Structures are given as C-alpha cells and as structure tokens.
Copies of this chain bind each other. A is one copy, B any other.
Amino acid sequence: MPDTADPAPVTARRKFRREGEGRRRQDLIEATLDCVAERGLAGATVRAIALRAGVTAGLIRHYFPGKEDLLQAAYATIVGRMTEQAKAAPGMEQADPRRRLAAFVEANLGAPVMDVRIFSLWAGFIGRVHADPTLSAAHREGYLGFRDELETLVAEVLDGSDRTTDKAQLRHYAIAINAILDGLWIEGCLAPEMFGHRELADIGLASVEAVLGLDLRTPGEEAASVRRPALSSEAVGSGG
C-alpha cells in the first residue's frame, strides 16, 4: 500500500510533558545515580543521564547550573540517604543502648546500605574529594556525622555498663568501630558473592563486641561485662 498519506511532518519533534520542578530534579538525580552506579563516574555524561531520565540533554542545564552541580546534588542525596537509613534502621527505636548499637552495626552491613550501587558512587566521588573543595566539605560533614552518631551510641552503651570511660577512650572506640564498619562495608560491596548471608553482619557484630569487651546480643545486666575491655587506656597511647 504505497503512498499512504502521512499527517506527520517530515521533521517530527519529540512529544513531551511538562513535569514539576521537584519531580524533574529528582528524576535527573536518580538517573545520575543509575549512570554512575552502572558505568562509573566517567559514564555519567549529560547525554547518558538525559537518556536515562527520558529527556534531552539540554534540559539538565535548565535545572542545574552545570553538570558539576548535578553530580554534587547526587552525591549529597546518596550521602544523606545512607546516614538516614542507618539511623532509622529497624531496631534503632529500642530502649536498650546495646540493642541500638547492634542494630546500627547490622544496618550498615546489610541491604540497602551495603550495595554496589552506593559503593560505586562513594568510590567515584571519594577519588575527587581531595581535589574538589565542595565535595571535600560534603564528605567531611557526612563522615564526621557518622562517627559522631557512633560515638553517641557507644557512650550510651558504656553508660549502661559498670565501666568508667574517659573521652579519649570513647574516641578510640568510635574510630575503631567506624573502621570495622567501613572495611566490612567495602568488602561486602565489592564482592558480595564472596560472603554468606549475614556473614559480614555477624563478623561485624562479633568484632565490635570484642573491641568494646561487651556483649551486644544478650544484653542482660550481668552478661554485659563478662569480657574484659579491650582498647584500654594503657594499651593505646592518647593522641591528637
């Protein structure tokens, strides 16, 4: 059936819908996260992001001054989401400080925090942190916020025990536990297939218990101090 009448113009323009500003920005940020997670920071070009978001490339600069700003917004989003998920983890509402700390540890060593997507983002940005002051500030804020949260949790746990702990010890505990969580998180993100279900969470819990010298999972008053505290003052010289 040749020569069918075609009402469409020879150079058809793409149909589109006008979305609200909030929605579009969110979509663009989400598309950016997808691109970075799947193909790395280098794969997050304006065209790739736009394609994934279902718009054309030019629209990005209508909502963000430049690509850099979109990346920073995406980074801030992921950082905020991580700490938020960890703080609001199931179990964090419990009254027992030991159970809260345990829940915090488990939340950071399982889905959705321990995810290769998030790790890719983290890695992609962390490499530029020391070169980009804006990213550096965002990172430092998130990092210190995380460690402060950890220090608070540990302080509450120790308050409930019969141990006396000075500020330097508390700081050392927080640094050590933070390192354990970071290290296990990285391992789990990079090679999830190498570890069994809950294996990293259990290792993390046991390691934190060992460092604190406390039992976090059977938190009776008497079970709390069967182990001798590690990281005692005489073992670790006070620094900084």
Contact = CB atoms under 8 A, between A and B. Distances in A.
Interface of A: 38-43, 116, 119-120, 123-124, 126-131, 139-140, 143, 172, 175-176, 178-184, 186-187, 190-191, 194-200, 202-204, 206-207, 209-211, 213, 227-228, 230-231, 235-240
A198 B210 CA distance: 22
A127 B182 CA distance: 16
Contacts of A200: 175
A176 B207 contact: yes
A139 B194 CA distance: 14
Contact of A123 (B126, B191, B230): B126
| A interface secondary structure, majority | helix
B40 A131 contact: yes
Nearest to A237: B202
Contact of A239 (B139, B191, B195): B195
Given A128-B40, A230-B207, A183 B187 contact: no
A186 B203 CA distance: 20
B175 A179 contact: no
Nearest to A211: B210
B180 A240 contact: no
B237 A199 contact: yes
Contacts of A41: 41-42, 127
A190 B228 contact: no
Nearest to A231: B206
Contacts of A38: 131
Given A123-B127, A207-B230, 16 more contacts: A39-B131, A40-B131, A41-B127, A43-B131, A129-B190, A130-B190, A175-B187, A176-B207, A179-B186, A179-B187, A203-B231, A206-B235, A207-B211, A210-B230, A210-B231, A227-B228
